[in-house]
């Protein structure tokens, strides 16, 4: 991709904003979700487990909102400029940041599932070992790991390309050699690993809750449900918002790629 190629097709690119409404819809919905999450700030008496959930959901909502904000900015800037602006450098930067946010969000979901797994299956170990400080360090660690995962295009392995139909920059899914194939294979592998971890942790949580409900006293179970009902409800709403706002965009991108 270069400036000459983009300028040659600028008349055609000017009017290709077909998925821009999807970006705007997702961005607005995520803004509302982020506001709801920030308003549901835990109190001092809130259990540490619930506080940890709140931190994770705040990061997830913030990451999704920023990612969709960038996806709104890219086609809007291209539309106003009648073509991509800034050449390959800005395209790579936009694609790089957006890829980081998307992957980070996925691993936040995995970390959230792991936290619920520890709270449910190993409550005493969680209370003594899984502190809020460790949650924050894990978030920072995951962020930098994701940065390393998507940085090879800056060193000649893989490439961030401009997709004219949607007017956005993203990682090329077409390898041009063995290094590119290995790079994409690593990304796909870590994505699958993330999905598997989320499924395994949540299956363990569900089975553990079902087995314990038959042995716990009803009042104890009711007290546990009441203490975390707000955050469980909030988690469900954020998950629903994520699906509603991102699924149309992802499907549209897949069709265009």
Each residue's pLDDT tens digit, 115-174: 888 888 777 777 777 788 888 999 999 999 999 989 999 888 888 888 776 677 888 888
Distance separating alpha carbons of residues 198 and 96, to the nearest angstrom: 25
User: CATH no. for residue 100?
Assistant: 1.20.1070.10
Q: Tell me: the pLDDT tens digits for 227-248?
A: 445 555 555 555 555 555 555 5
Distance separating alpha carbons of residues 174 and 97, to the nearest angstrom: 20
**Burial group, residue 182, by CB count within 10 angstroms (0-12, 13-18, 19+):** middle
According to the per-residue pLDDT averaged within each range, which of 32-36, 42-46, 161-165 is highest? Answer: 32-36
Range of the domain at 155: 3-256
Quickly state the pLDDT bin for 15 (edges 50, 70, 90). Answer: very low
Overall domain count for the chain: 1
pLDDT of residue 169: 81
Distance separating alpha carbons of residues 140 and 37, to the nearest angstrom: 20
Sign of CA dihedral 28, 30, 33, 35: negative
> Count of H helices and E strands in the chain?
9, 2
Task: Give Cα separations from 211 to 53, 113, 115 (angstroms).
Answer: 23, 19, 19
Cβ proximity of 72 and 23 under 8 Å:
yes
């Amino acid at each position: 991709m270069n400036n000459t190629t983009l300028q040659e097709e600028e008349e055609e690119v000017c009017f290709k904003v077909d998925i821009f409404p999807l970006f705007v819809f997702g961005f607005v919905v995520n803004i509302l979700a982020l506001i709801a999450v920030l308003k549901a700030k835990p109190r001092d008496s809130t259990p540490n487990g619930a506080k940890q959930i709140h931190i994770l959901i705040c990061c997830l909502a913030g990451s999704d909102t920023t990612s969709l904000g960038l996806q709104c900015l890219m086609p809007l800037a291209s539309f106003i400029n009648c073509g991509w602006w800034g050449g390959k450098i800005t395209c790579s930067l936009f694609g790089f940041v957006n890829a980081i946010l998307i992957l980070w969000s996925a691993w936040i979901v995995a970390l959230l599932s792991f936290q619920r797994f520890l709270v449910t299956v190993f409550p005493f170990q969680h209370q003594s070992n899984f502190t809020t400080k460790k949650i924050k360090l894990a978030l920072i660690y995951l962020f930098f790991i994701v940065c390393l995962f998507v940085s090879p295009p800056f060193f000649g392995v893989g490439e961030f390309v401009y997709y004219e139909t949607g007017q956005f920059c993203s990682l090329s899914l077409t390898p041009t050699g063995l290094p590119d194939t290995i790079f994409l294979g690593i990304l796909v592998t870590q994505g699958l690993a993330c999905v598997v971890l989320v499924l395994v942790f949540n299956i363990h949580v569900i089975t553990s809750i079902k087995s314990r409900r038959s042995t716990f006293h009803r009042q104890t179970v009711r007290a546990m449900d009441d203490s975390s009902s707000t955050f469980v409800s909030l988690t469900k709403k954020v998950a629903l918002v994520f699906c509603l706002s991102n699924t149309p965009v992802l499907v549209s991108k897949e069709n265009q790629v």
